[in-house]
Amino acid sequence: MASPNFIPRFLLPRGPLLIRTPPIPRATSPSTILPLPLTIRHASSKASPPRKPLAEQLRNEARVIPQPDKYRPPSHGRRTPRSETLQKSYGAPPSAEDRERMRTKKYPNMMAPQGTFMHWFLNNRAIHLWITSGILISLAVAAWYMDLMHKTVYAELFPTKKEFFRAPLDSSKRFIEVYKMHVEQQTQVVHEIRMKKQEDTEKRKLYRLQRIQEAEERGEEYVEDPRYYVGEDGVRRRRVKRWFGIWE
């Protein structure tokens, strides 16, 4: 028969979750009951990180078991491949003396090393600019000379190449004199062409005025041809279709 002072555990009121009560020791006699010491555990101020599930922990771990060196083939060494490192040559890394020697060494079918005349010549921008400018100026002078010899009427009076080499000063003076004669002749030709155009313009203007006067004498109205127009200078010109208002 149970003791009248003993109360079953499931009939006691349930305390907070953080308070843990030690198990009640049984009394040696039904008349004595031992005191119940209470142990209170306070919650920590820092929240513990949530524990990852087991499936996620296994997923993050390496799935491949490391291969032992005993079964490693020679083609797949244990060291990092040379293609994945900064060293691109076999053996020990080159020293400063080796780098200087390789920098100034002449290799076949390769560019000239530093410190040589060929390296200075190929990498000097001033020399390349001077050569390029000289070639372009020479081509321009040659084209101008050929055009001059083709258009001028005094081609026979210009000095020849042999005369330039024999007497360069006299040939240069003679070339300048003949060139002045060529310029005067071209100026005269252009003036004659301009005067001819001006005379033709005056003739057209007088012809139009005469036609208008004849129509007034007959009592008729002079009708302009729509295919022509009269410019500011009084000359009748043919209308030309313009593309985009620019080209004729």
Rg for the chain, CA atoms, rounded: 57
Contact by Cβ (8 Å): 27, 33: yes
Signed CA dihedral, 119, 122, 124, 127: sign only: positive
15-to-9, 10, 19, 212 alpha-carbon distances in Å: 12, 12, 7, 131
Share of the chain above pLDDT 90, in %: 26
pLDDT recorded at residue 116: 87
- The model's confidence at residue 146, banded by pLDDT at 50, 70 and 90, is very high
Nearest to 3 by CA among 28, 22, 21: 28
Q: Rank 36-40, 93-97, 141-145, 239-243 by mean pLDDT and report only the highest.
A: 141-145
* Mean per-residue pLDDT, 192-214: 87
Task: Write out pLDDT tens, residues 48-61.
Answer: 677 777 777 767 66
The pLDDT of residue 147 is above 60: yes
Strand residues in the chain grouped as ranges (E): 19-20, 39-40, 228-230, 236-238
Task: Write out pLDDT tens, residues 60-85.
Answer: 665 667 667 777 777 777 777 777 77
Residue 33 neighbours by CB distance under 10 Å: 14
pLDDT recorded at residue 18: 47
The torsion defined by the Cα of 5, 9, 12 and 17, in degrees rounded to 10, comes to 140
d(CA 205, CA 198): 11
Task: Write out pLDDT tens, residues 76-127.
Answer: 777 777 777 776 667 777 888 988 888 888 888 888 888 889 999 999 999 9
Nearest to 17 by CA among 35, 41, 48, 37: 41
pTM, two decimal places? 0.47
- The model's confidence at residue 32, banded by pLDDT at 50, 70 and 90, is very low
pLDDT recorded at residue 25: 52
d(CA 77, CA 82): 11
* Mean per-residue pLDDT, 159-175: 91
> What are the tokens at 110?
């390769």
Contact by Cβ (8 Å): 89, 100: no
Q: What is the mean pLDDT of the chain?
A: 78
pLDDT recorded at residue 213: 87
The torsion defined by the Cα of 109, 113, 118 and 119, in degrees rounded to 10, comes to 120
> What are the tokens at 172?
């240069």
- The model's confidence at residue 192, banded by pLDDT at 50, 70 and 90, is very high
